[in-house]
């Protein structure tokens, strides 16, 4: 993992000191809320439905055990004993007191963390593949580039006041586990003629106008990735719509200019940037790379597992993924217990996961955009012990990518932007499909719920998506079918009129029943939908 140098630490410590003084002045009445609001937002502190909410950055979703323990400590000491892991691979605390916020930021800084650029029209936390560095199918480890982008984008003076917020994802596998093409810029590391470089996509996103990012460059060499991204952002910063918040994202610019014209302007700017000599020195990437060398894997380990405990075998089949190193496995920890709140974890659960990472996974863990946690490198011979401890803590749900592994935004239970509640709908769906055998029979089905058009719950990218809307003061839920945030990226289509809370659960059951009746061998729900089209699904749910 990357460790702060003196510059990183000095920047973060200075920001804590600044914010402590700003908070003191606000509480003393020396500055107004109008003056203070942008300052607190620059430090991730929102005022939400019930209280202040603090969004803490987890760079590319990667944490050490020590950092995870600090997240548990903050939940216990300053919040109400839990945190909420988000679709941006971050964590949010829902019950923060303004008077405590400077101390919380100081605690975070003590473990090389912060809440900077988790709000505002700047480059947000860089996201990546939760299997980065351990996936068997990646062409290179994306984390050094994600870290380089983090450093480049932190306090970038030219990009601190963009037309709108800006999200970047980096992946390095043909399998997309990070919804890469639904980001403002998506970077896919690829190899060409033995050389690592990147495909660059720009203009993707969800929200009220969902778009899949088109490819802008099919290959840029690794030493030019930062300069090329800089060129993409410069064109956006110059021409992005600052006059209309709803048309200010880069996707609108790329769409209105057309891909070819946007690309032409980026290439022109890139040619100019190349004359400035601001490519990061190769030595800097090498310095960063050194932090991401493999941990000391044991060699000669076997891959055999004792599967005599059927519950353990079921969990292994669903939650464990292939690791690049023989004898090791990737463990996915579900934060989706049936009837629970997707993405929430108590301080005790956070502490336990940190302990497991420390003991069994080289002191490292990952947060996924699907609101689960990953232990990236666990010896197969330790899997049973890990599973037993997870089970005792209520963390051994075996539902990865199944219908109860639901992404849900906080919705109207917490969020001041939301129009409808998301969490109760997720809970009711999970309860309806609670039977593990039924879930496995249905197979991979990614269900995603947003409580408003801003789409924090990624409803456009769900095999089944749900969008909560306000219909004359009443919560109403629109169903979408056919979306995907994976390498087969697609946007869901609204089925028709919305439902009330109970009706949407019934409709999903009818849709899955149709799928089970109509599927061909090997087809997932989304495959059957794509083959059959919307008509039979509409007939099933409205007929």
Partner 1 sequence: MIIVTGNDLATGDVIWWTGSGWSRHVGQAVDAGHEGEAIIERESAARRVNSAYLVEAEQTASGPLPHHIKDRIRASGPTVRADLALNTEIPIVKA
List interacting residues with partner 1 (CB under 8 A).
Answer: 26-27, 29, 33, 47, 49-52, 80, 94-99, 341, 412-414, 416, 418, 421, 423-424, 427, 470, 473-475
Long-range contacts of 173-176 (CB under 8 A, 24+ apart): 173/129, 173/131, 173/135, 173/137, 173/138, 173/139, 174/137, 174/487, 175/135, 175/137, 175/486, 175/487, 176/129, 176/485, 176/486, 176/487, 176/489
Cβ closest to partner 1, residue 98 vs residue 190: 98
Q: Are 501 and 425 in contact (CB under 8 A)?
A: yes
Cβ closest to partner 1, residue 361 vs residue 427: 427
Measured CA to CA, the distance from residue 443 to residue 250 in angstroms comes to: 36
Beta carbon of residue 52, minimum distance to partner 1 (angstroms, whole number): 4
Beta carbon of residue 447, minimum distance to partner 1 (angstroms, whole number): 17
Cβ closest to partner 1, residue 365 vs residue 420: 420
Cβ closest to partner 1, residue 2 vs residue 414: 414
**H or E segment to which residue 215 belongs:** strand 215-221
Cβ closest to partner 1, residue 24 vs residue 192: 24
Residue ranges with strand state E in 373-489: 373-379, 407-408, 447-450, 464-471, 474-481
Cβ closest to partner 1, residue 119 vs residue 125: 119
Measured CA to CA, the distance from residue 279 to residue 350 in angstroms comes to: 39
Sheet holding 52-56, edge to edge: 45-47, 52-56, 91-96, 82-85, 344-346
| Tokens coding 467 | 């969008």
Cβ closest to partner 1, residue 62 vs residue 476: 476
Beta carbon of residue 420, minimum distance to partner 1 (angstroms, whole number): 8
Beta carbon of residue 51, minimum distance to partner 1 (angstroms, whole number): 4
Beta carbon of residue 114, minimum distance to partner 1 (angstroms, whole number): 20
Classified as helix, coil or strand, 235 is helix
Measured CA to CA, the distance from residue 12 to residue 67 in angstroms comes to: 15
Beta carbon of residue 480, minimum distance to partner 1 (angstroms, whole number): 23
Longest dimension (CA), the chain: 68
Beta carbon of residue 47, minimum distance to partner 1 (angstroms, whole number): 6
Cβ closest to partner 1, residue 359 vs residue 428: 428
Measured CA to CA, the distance from residue 235 to residue 159 in angstroms comes to: 11
Beta bridge partners of 450: 467
Beta carbon of residue 340, minimum distance to partner 1 (angstroms, whole number): 9
Q: Rounded to 10 degrees, what is the CA torsion of 240, 241, 245, 246?
A: -90
């Amino acid at each position: 993992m990357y460790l702060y140098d003196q510059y990183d630490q000095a920047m973060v410590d200075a920001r804590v000191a600044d914010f402590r003084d700003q908070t003191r002045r606000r509480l003393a009445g020396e500055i107004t809320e109008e003056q203070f609001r942008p300052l607190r937002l620059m430090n991730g502190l929102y005022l939400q439905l019930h209280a202040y909410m603090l969004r803490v950055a987890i760079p590319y979703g990667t944490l050490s055990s020590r950092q995870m323990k600090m997240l548990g400590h903050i939940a216990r000491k300053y919040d109400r004993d839990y945190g909420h892991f988000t679709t941006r691979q971050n964590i949010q605390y829902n019950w923060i007191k303004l008077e405590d916020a400077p101390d919380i930021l100081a605690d975070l800084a003590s473990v090389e963390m912060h809440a900077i650029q988790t709000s505002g029209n700047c480059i947000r936390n860089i996201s990546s593949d939760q299997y980065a560095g351990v996936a068997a199918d990646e062409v290179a480890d994306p984390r050094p580039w994600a870290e380089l982008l983090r450093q480049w984008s932190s306090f970038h003076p030219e990009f601190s006041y963009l037309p709108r917020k800006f999200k970047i994802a980096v992946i390095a596998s043909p399998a997309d586990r990070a919804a890469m093409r639904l980001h403002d810029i998506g970077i896919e590391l690829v190899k060409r003629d033995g050389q690592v470089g990147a495909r660059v996509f720009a203009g993707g996103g969800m929200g009220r106008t969902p778009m899949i990012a088109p490819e802008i460059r099919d290959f840029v060499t690794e030493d030019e990735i930062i300069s090329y991204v800089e060129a993409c952002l410069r064109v956006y910063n110059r021409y992005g719509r600052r006059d209309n918040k709803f048309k200010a994202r880069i996707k609108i610019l790329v769409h209105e200019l057309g891909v070819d014209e946007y690309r032409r302007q980026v290439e022109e700017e890139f040619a100019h940037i190349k004359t400035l000599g601001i490519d990061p020195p190769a030595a800097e990437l090498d310095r960063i790379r050194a932090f991401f060398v493999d941990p000391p894997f044991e060699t000669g380990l076997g891959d055999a597992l004792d599967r005599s405990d059927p519950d353990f075998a079921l969990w292994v089949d669903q939650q464990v993924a292939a690791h690049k190193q023989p004898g090791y496995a990737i463990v996915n920890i579900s934060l989706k217990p049936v009837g629970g709140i997707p993405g929430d974890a108590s301080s005790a659960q956070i502490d336990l996961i940190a302990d497991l990472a420390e003991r069994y996974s080289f002191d490292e863990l990952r947060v996924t955009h699907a609101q689960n946690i990953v232990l990236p490198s666990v010896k197969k011979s330790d899997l049973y012990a890990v599973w037993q401890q997870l089970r005792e803590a209520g963390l051994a749900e075996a539902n990865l990518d199944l219908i109860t592994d639901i992404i849900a935004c906080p919705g109207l239970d917490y969020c001041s932007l939301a129009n409808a509640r998301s969490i109760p709908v997720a809970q009711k769906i999970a309860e309806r499909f609670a039977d593990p055998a039924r879930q496995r029979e249905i197979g991979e089905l990614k269900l995603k719920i947003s409580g408003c058009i801003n789409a924090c719950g990624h409803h456009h990218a769900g095999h089944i998506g749900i969008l909560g809307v306000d219909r004359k003061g009443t919560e109403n839920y629109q169903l979408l079918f056919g979306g995907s945030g994976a390498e087969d990226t697609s946007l869901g289509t609204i089925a028709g009129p919305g439902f009330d809370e109970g009706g949407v659960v019934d409709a999903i059951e009818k849709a899955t029943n149709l799928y089970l009746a109509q599927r061909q061998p090997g087809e997932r729900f989304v495959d059957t939908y794509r083959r059959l089209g919307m008509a039979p699904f509409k007939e099933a749910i409205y007929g």
